[in-house]
Every structure is written in C-alpha cells, then in structure tokens.
Structure 1
Amino acid sequence: MLSKENIAEYFQTLQKTICQAIENTDGKGKFREDLWQHHSGGGGRTRVLTDGNIIAKGGVNFSAVSGEASEALQKQLNLTEKADYFATGVSIVQHPVNPMVPIIHMNVRYFELSNGICWFGGGIDLTPHYVVEEDARWFHQQLKAACDKHSAEYYPKYKEWADNYFFIPHRNETRGVGGIFFDYLKPKDETPKEDLFAFVQSVGESFAPVYTHLMVKNNQLPYGAHEINWQMLRRGRYVEFNLVWDRGTKFGLETNGRTESILMSLPPVANWVYDFQPEAGSEEEKTLSLLKKGVDWV
C-alpha cells in the first residue's frame, strides 16, 4: 500500500535528480543545501544555486511537514473540526542569466489529513521574458505527452486550469505561456491513489529533460542592456504574482513555514518602471500580446 512515507521518499529522490541535471547543464553553479525543521513537525531540504553560467538564482526545495491544521488552514480546506495534516512535495523556480532563457516553475505535492482525506496537486509552467512560439509549442507538447500517458482528458483540463491560475488579474495578463496546473486530485474507485501518484511522477520527471533542453538551446543567444532591462521588468511581474496571488506562498506563510524557503522563488534582482509602454512592433510588444488565456499551443 502506498504510504505518505513512500511518497515523501520519492520526492526526495526527485529533488536530487533534478539538482544534478541542472548543475550538469549549468556547468558552474552548485546548489547550497540547508536542512531545516518545522516548528510543528517534520522539515525540509532547501537547495539554492546562485551565480551560475546559465542560472542566476534557482531553488529546488523538498519538504515534509506535519502538525495540527491552523484556523486559517481549516477555513481554506473547509474543515468543520480540527485535524492533523501531513504535506510533502518538491517546489522549483529557476531564474536564468540570459533573458532568452525562460523562467520555469514546477511544484508536485501530496497532502493528507488525519481524517483520512488525501490528495495530490502540482503543476509546471513556463515564463519566458521573450515568448518564442516554437519553444512554447514544444514545451506544451512535452506536457501533453506526460499527461496523455495517464488520460487524454488531463492535458486540456489542466492546461485551462493553468491559464486561469497563472494569471495576474491586476495586470490582466498571464504570468507566461502557461503549462498545466492541478489540485485536490483525490483517490476514487476509478482512479486509485497509485494511479494519481504515477501521474504526478510523470509530471515531476518531465522537468529536468524539458528545462535543460531550453537552457542549452537558448543560453548562447545574444542579448544586451535593452533585453536585460526588459528581463528586470518581467521578473517584477513574477514577483507580483508570487507575493499577491500564489496559493503556495500563502499556505507556507500561514503555516509558519520557513520564510527563506518560501521566498526562494523570488529573483535576485527585479525592477518596476512607472507606466512602461513597449515600442510599437517590438519583440516586447509581441510578447505582451501572447500573455493571455486560451492560446492553443498544441
């Protein structure tokens, strides 16, 4: 029988595998590791790489924490009585040096309550500073292939969910070109826990080959001060989403998680320019025109 300990052990191995792939591809940067304990039980292993050849700042976090659900968490989960929780997962954000290399995020997670309820969640999405349609299509094709191994319904359903989730309402734009997002996948008779876990594994294991391909493909492309200025603005948008809208950030802070690990997702440097308007016909304007819901990338 699949246990929470089995799932947590897999996530630890996934973290290790992904860190090795990123280090090997970057060629310079090495992950610093911090082990930490959660005040109510469990803890985590935070790994952060800085000042690499390709990655300016990247984090690959593992956690397995437990405790009594706070009032805020009870409200979020619609719990009518107190319960203990167990949460484990891997969370990743990579901010590249070269503006032609996209930012990427992935999270795969498992949540279990002492009342017997459990579920999986996660997602993977791409945030290019400059949208390259060929790369966006390829990225979505890889995610569709990972989904299709388990159900033909997964990709269109979770792609739409990602469009809606990775959206910045106060800017009326998507954070990037989307990907897939899913949550509250609970075991049922027709979809047992083991099948859901296999799907989550397929998503998690797609990360390293997908992102290392994009790192290698785009890292040698030329750029200058103009592109760096735009990169800083797009990083600013990333910060806005993560601090204002991201549920994972809110959950971590509401459960008194480790702040440094929670805010690992933020870039090393970002910028906000008042009322910035891209030049007509520019690559920046083209990118903004593609940051919208419902783009059919496959």
Structure 2
Amino acid sequence: MISKEQIAAEYQLIQDEICAALEQCDGLAYFEEEKWERDGGGGGRTRVIQNGNIFEKGGVNFSAVHGQLPHTMQKALNIDHDDFFATGVSIVIHPNHPMVPIIHMNIRYFEIPSSFADGREPIRWFGGGIDLTPHYVIDADAQYFHAYLKSVCDKFNHDFYHRFKTWADDYFFIKHRNETRGVGGIFYDRLTANSELTWENIFEFSKGVGRSFIPIYTELVNRNRNSTFNEAQQFWQYQRRSRYTEFNLVYDAGTKFGLETNGRIESILMSLPPTAKWVYNYQPVPGSEEEKTLSLLKKGINWV
C-alpha cells in the first residue's frame, strides 16, 4: 500500500516540474519560495510568480499538514476522528492578458492515521481537479482543454470524464450569479479504491491530472499571448476576475478547509487576483464578445 510519505514526495516533485515549466513559458519572472510551518503540525512550500511577461500573479503551492481536526471540519467531513493528514498541490494563475485564461488545478490526499490501527476500514481518499476560467470564451480553446482532460481520464476509467465533468459543472457554479465560474473541467473528491480501482491506480490518476497542467496551459498561453487587446477588453478581464474572487471566498471548499484548520493565510488566499473590478449592474453590449462569453457560462455544455 502506498504511504502518505510517498504521496507527499511525488506531489513535491510535481510542484517542482510545474514551476520550472511556467518560468520557461513566461520568460521573465521567477518563482519566489517561502517555506512555512503550521501550528499543530506540518507545513509547506508557497511559491509565487508575479509581474512576468504573461503571468501577472500566480501560485504553485505544496502542503503536507497534520494534527488535530477541528470539530467543525469533523462534522463537515462526516468523520469522528480527531487527527488527520492532508497533502496536496494547488495552483492558480492570473495572466495579464485578457485572451489568456485563468487556470486552477488541485490534487490532494487526505487520511485519518488512527483509522489504520483501530481495526476499522482505513479512512483515506484522493481529490482534485482542473478547471479553466477564460475572460473570453474561445470555442477552440475550450474544446482542446476538455479533449485533453478526457484523454487523461480515459486512460484510467472511461466513465471518469463524464462523471467528473458533471461534478465540475456543479461545483464551479456561482449560485448568486447563476453562472459557472468558467468553462469547467473535471472535479472529484473522496475517490477511494474499489473492485475496479486500486489505490495505486488512483494515485497514478492523481499524478496524471497534476502532470496534465503544463501541456494544457502552455498550449493555451502560446495560442493567445501575442494577440492584441484594448483597454475595454482589459476592463472586462478585471470584471471577470471579480466573479472568480466571489466564488473562491464564498464557495470554495479548499479555502474553507485551510481557514478552519489554521492554515497559512497568504497561501490560502494566493488564489485571489491582484486587480479586480466590481461595476454596479454591468451589462454587456448586445451582440458583443462579452455577451457571448456570458451566454456560455452555464452547466452542461458538451465541449468534446
């Protein structure tokens, strides 16, 4: 059986690979690293890139934390153990170009160490996902993104893509705006071994999702980074960033988990954009690209 130490080590390697590739893609900025320790157990490596050729702000964070699980989180997770271990990599990139999309990825593992020794079935699971938030929805880019994710999912289970795509549509939904955060992607949680999937299979899937990030995002960046844009399009970019912020502060489970378990605030809120705008009752021009984008921010679109 794979150990939590093996999982954490592999996630650290994925963090290293992604940071090196993003620096090469940007061509100007480099990641700054801050190592931190969590009161109660564990810590992590926060890496932030800022003011680059294309990446205005981004973070690629690794954490491996353990200790006492607050009662609020025990209730939320529907478990009755005090101790926990959690490790993962979390990424959010905010480009400075309105035609280059925001992207988020997360891979994570959670276990209750005491459950391995108390005679009951071990409590452990994998979760994660990757989703795309374009400021302007470009059909060909959304199709490429989803086709790549489907190819990753299909290597492990032909039902994964449909299940996890639907899950992402439901999860990355801004209820108070009645719109999705972007064009979705895949999302899964509490993925455990069964008659069809071993723990090793699920771990390989988790790593496959993690390593899909670079080929996907570098392709999308390079497709759009040299296109021209005007002030009105950048204004729209800042307006769309405000919706991203609303989702992360109101609904995101990772943000809530980090705050409830006394995580590092700067790392938790790394996902927020450097600049955003909230314009009162903003309405796009009828027939505009902005109106088209809003019309595509809904569940159930079949991109592949």
Residue 220 of structure 1 pairs with residue 219 of structure 2: no
Contact 2:63 2:89 in 1 (8 A): yes
Residue 122 of structure 1 pairs with residue 128 of structure 2: yes
Question: Which residue of structure 1 aligns with residue 297 of structure 2?
Answer: 291
Partner deviation per Cα, 1:224-269 (whole Å, 9 max, x = no partner): 1000100000000000000000000000001010000000000000
**What displacement does 1:119 show?**
0.1
**Mapping of residues 104-253 of structure 1, within 5 Å:** 104-114=103-113, 115=115, 116-253=122-259
| Whole-Å separation in 2 of the counterparts to 1:22 and 1:172 | 33
**What displacement does 1:192 show?**
1.4
Which 4+ stretches in 1 moved above 2 angstroms?
Answer: none
Partner deviation per Cα, 1:188-228 (whole Å, 9 max, x = no partner): 24321111101111111100110011111100011010001
Question: Which residue of structure 2 aligns with residue 46 of structure 1?
Answer: 46
Contact 2:107 2:129 in 1 (8 A): yes
| Whole-Å separation in 2 of the counterparts to 1:41 and 1:100 | 41
Using the size of structure 1 for normalisation, the TM-score is 0.99
| Whole-Å separation in 2 of the counterparts to 1:54 and 1:229 | 17
Question: Which residue of structure 2 aligns with residue 14 of structure 1?
Answer: 14
| Whole-Å separation in 2 of the counterparts to 1:146 and 1:223 | 33
Using the size of structure 2 for normalisation, the TM-score is 0.97
Count of residue pairs brought into register by the alignment: 297
Contact 2:81 2:112 in 1 (8 A): no
Question: Which residue of structure 2 aligns with residue 72 of structure 1?
Answer: 72
**One-letter amino acid matched to 1:106:** M
Which stretch shifts more, 184-193 or 21-30? 184-193
| Whole-Å separation in 1 of the counterparts to 2:15 and 2:78 | 31
Partner deviation per Cα, 1:56-108 (whole Å, 9 max, x = no partner): 000000000000111111101112x3331000000000000110000000000
Residue 93 of structure 1 pairs with residue 92 of structure 2: yes
**One-letter amino acid matched to 2:106:** N
Partner deviation per Cα, 1:38-71 (whole Å, 9 max, x = no partner): 1111100000000000100000000000001111
Question: Which residue of structure 2 aligns with residue 272 of structure 1?
Answer: 278
**One-letter amino acid matched to 1:89:** G
**One-letter amino acid matched to 1:154:** F
| Whole-Å separation in 2 of the counterparts to 1:43 and 1:10 | 16
Identity %: 60
| Whole-Å separation in 1 of the counterparts to 2:276 and 2:142 | 23
Query: Which structure 2 segments of 5+ residues have no match?
Result: 116-121
**One-letter amino acid matched to 1:43:** G
Question: Which residue of structure 1 aligns with residue 119 of structure 2?
Answer: none
Matched residue of 2:131: which SS? strand
Query: Which structure 1 segments of 5+ residues have no match?
Result: none
| Whole-Å separation in 2 of the counterparts to 1:112 and 1:129 | 37
**One-letter amino acid matched to 2:155:** K
| Whole-Å separation in 2 of the counterparts to 1:138 and 1:217 | 11
